[in-house]
Structure 1
Amino acid sequence: MTDAIVPDSQYKGFVARLPLPWRHYALLARFDRPIGWWLLFWPCTWGLFLAGATMSWAMVAWLLLGSIAMRGAGCVYNDIVDADLDARVARTAARPIASGAVSQRAAWVWIMVLAGTGLIVLLQLHWQAKIVALGSLVLVAAYPFMKRITGWPQAWLGLVFTWGAPTGWVQASGFGNLLPLVPLYCGCWAWCMGYDTIYACQDREDDALVGIGSSALSFGRHVRTGVIALYALALTGWGGAIWLMRPDPLALLALAPVALHLGWQALTLNPDDGDGALRRFRANRFAGLLMAAACFVVGITR
């Protein structure tokens, strides 16, 4: 499995065309790997659309920009904290901070630039949504340490990486009707934990050697069963949110495409195939789009 892992130093696209100093900063923010910001962005649209703001396209664009900037800032912060661990893992050893290409001081300056972009987006939100969005900062700050103290860091990531759902929801409807948000967010948490468990299958050998936690390790021989259960929980939560917004069996049919897609991911997962795990992880960009379509249909027809 280790031989199939693609090191983070192998990049392509526009990042490969940047002058070397800029390239290091682009790599730090993972601009060469857009899957991360899509996974951060899609839950924003789910909360926004399901709460009824189906035509807020300007806000959708702002939330996408915020997702790109804050995912980048989070990656830089994660690399600062994990520099010692990254240097000991084959896939991450060539990352700019771990390899010494970018100093930690320069990395902190880069975080401030990215966070400044996030601040511009924050100012576009209603005051209630501003409060919710700022509430994620404590979760984000604690995440890089979770793999050092627990075998289930993906459980914490599920709280962090889907915070866009409550932010989008409150942006659309304020604090007036939060009940449907509970199952929506629970479903988002399970979805994130599921796809990041798939992602972690790439690093199981290195994680075990380094001594850091991972749900792909903690599930042991039952990784596929664990992912199936998590995706089932995600669909149950999303179905509950849709039902609370529109108690109609036909509305639940909107989840059929994303249910089939997640079923394909989980049922065909081979935890020992690093390339296959990476393809299924990346496929969650499409899963997010399918869920956004479901929320849009329910939001516009209720």
Structure 2
Amino acid sequence: MMEKLRHYARLVRLDRPIGIYLLLWPTLWALWIAAQGVPDFTILFVFVVGVVLMRSAGCAINDYADRDFDPHVARTKTRPLVTGDISPKEALGVFAVLGLGAFLLEWQLNGLTIALSVVAVLLAATYPFMKRLHHLPQVHLGAAFSWAIPMAFTAVTGVMPPLSAWLLFVAALLWTTAYDTMYAMCDRDDDLKIGVKSTAILFGQHDRLIIGVLQALTLLLLAIVGLLNGLGGWYWLGLLLAAGFSVYQQWLIRHREPTPSLRAFLNNHWLGMAVFAGLALDYAL
């Protein structure tokens, strides 16, 4: 039993929490801006636990969708569905249980937020299959990872999100597209062989330039959100740190090598944290 639980933990990447962090930071940005400071504890609890559940569910459905591709990719050939430690039906069951758990958790919130949560589940369930259809699965992931932003605003305010919420949504979507392209650069050679599509393949030799443009647009939109919400010096310091991390990531991917590209992807945890730290300090002080 314990051995099976360990396989389930690997399936949902509990040993690799980077996805939780990258989903959590934009969610916290939105909650703090919507509440103009620390949000209600119940709302905060629902969203933090919901982030963990939905990211875990996304990993389960991703591995189910990629079970025929993963054996041919160096980075993924030891996943539990590939090794036979978990069956495809079990992976689907894990996705269903975690997704249902997250959906039931949302019932502590208002009706508008519950309605928006349906979109979140659909985005998470369909993302893994997009790499078969088009070269922009990273944009689809961006929408899935950013959808918590309008949900956070409706949970706090009870009304449809304002303009600044949608600007924050677009900023998070562009940021996700940028860092997931860095991640896709790690697998580009294997993906080309097996026919998987990605922005890393689509952008080709212009990948670093386009990632840079996406990073710049992310920071610009975050700056506009700051102006619209009257945020002050601590927030701008957080954005300055985020800009520094963006430059560092560009340096890491300069030779397009898999290991430094993975490090650049992982570094986005600190970028998201810097923005939140500046935001939280600005409201607190």
Fold shared by both chains (TM-score > 0.5)? yes
Q: Which amino acid aligns with 2:51?
A: S
Counterpart of 2:3 in structure 1 is 20
Q: 2:211 aligns with which of 208, 227, 234?
A: 227
Q: 1:169 aligns with which of 133, 153, 168?
A: 153
Q: 1:103 to 1:216 in 2, by over 3 A?
A: same
After superposing on structure 2, the runs of 4+ consecutive aligned residues of structure 1 that deviate more than 6 Å are 247-250
Q: 1:295 to 1:88 in 2, by over 3 A?
A: same
Q: Which amino acid aligns with 1:127?
A: G
Counterpart of 1:126 in structure 2 is 110
Asked if structure 1 preserves the Cα contact closer than 8 Å seen for 2:99 and 2:121, the reply is no
State yes or no: 1:37 paired with 2:20. Answer: yes
Counterpart of 1:112 in structure 2 is 96
Counterpart of 1:48 in structure 2 is 31
Higher mean C-alpha displacement, 61-70 vs 232-241: 61-70
- Percentage identity across aligned positions? 32
Counterpart of 1:216 in structure 2 is 200
| 3-state DSSP of counterpart to 2:163 | coil
- In 2, the alpha carbon distance for the partners of 1:163 and 1:176 equals 13
- In 1, the alpha carbon distance for the partners of 2:80 and 2:194 equals 20
Q: 1:222 to 1:129 in 2, by over 3 A?
A: same
Name stretches of at least 5 consecutive residues in structure 2 with no aligned partner.
none
Q: Deviations over 1:6-56 (max 9, x none)?
A: xxxxxxxxxxxx942211111111111100111111111011111235222
Counterpart of 1:278 in structure 2 is 262
Name stretches of at least 5 consecutive residues in structure 1 with no aligned partner.
1-17
Q: Deviations over 1:169-200 (max 9, x none)?
A: 22222325511112111111110001001111
State yes or no: 1:266 paired with 2:250. Answer: yes
- In 2, the alpha carbon distance for the partners of 1:63 and 1:210 equals 37
| 3-state DSSP of counterpart to 1:51 | helix
| 3-state DSSP of counterpart to 1:62 | helix
Asked if structure 2 preserves the Cα contact closer than 8 Å seen for 1:243 and 1:251, the reply is no
Aligned-pair distance for 1:77?
Answer: 0.8
- In 1, the alpha carbon distance for the partners of 2:117 and 2:248 equals 33
TM-score where L is the length of structure 1: 0.86
Higher mean C-alpha displacement, 291-300 vs 44-53: 291-300
Higher mean C-alpha displacement, 122-131 vs 23-32: 122-131
Aligned-pair distance for 1:270?
Answer: 2.8
Q: 1:81 to 1:233 in 2, by over 3 A?
A: same
- In 1, the alpha carbon distance for the partners of 2:260 and 2:178 equals 15
- In 1, the alpha carbon distance for the partners of 2:232 and 2:93 equals 51
Q: Deviations over 1:205-233 (max 9, x none)?
A: 10010111111111111221111111001
Q: Which amino acid aligns with 1:203?
A: D
Aligned-pair distance for 1:254?
Answer: 4.4
Q: 1:188 to 1:173 in 2, by over 3 A?
A: same
RMSD after superposition: 2.2
Counterpart of 1:81 in structure 2 is 65
TM-score where L is the length of structure 2: 0.91
- In 1, the alpha carbon distance for the partners of 2:103 and 2:122 equals 16
Higher helix share: 2
| 3-state DSSP of counterpart to 2:53 | helix
State yes or no: 1:257 paired with 2:238. Answer: no
The count of residues paired between Structure 1 and Structure 2 equals 284
Q: Which amino acid aligns with 1:42?
A: W
| 3-state DSSP of counterpart to 1:31 | coil
Q: Deviations over 1:224-251 (max 9, x none)?
A: 1111111001111111112111187886
Q: 1:119 to 1:182 in 2, by over 3 A?
A: closer
Q: 1:176 to 1:165 in 2, by over 3 A?
A: closer
- In 1, the alpha carbon distance for the partners of 2:175 and 2:232 equals 24
Asked if structure 1 preserves the Cα contact closer than 8 Å seen for 2:137 and 2:199, the reply is yes
Q: Which amino acid aligns with 2:97?
A: V
Q: 1:127 to 1:269 in 2, by over 3 A?
A: same
State yes or no: 1:62 paired with 2:46. Answer: yes
- In 1, the alpha carbon distance for the partners of 2:145 and 2:51 equals 10
Structure with larger RCO (C-alpha < 8 A, sep 6+): 1
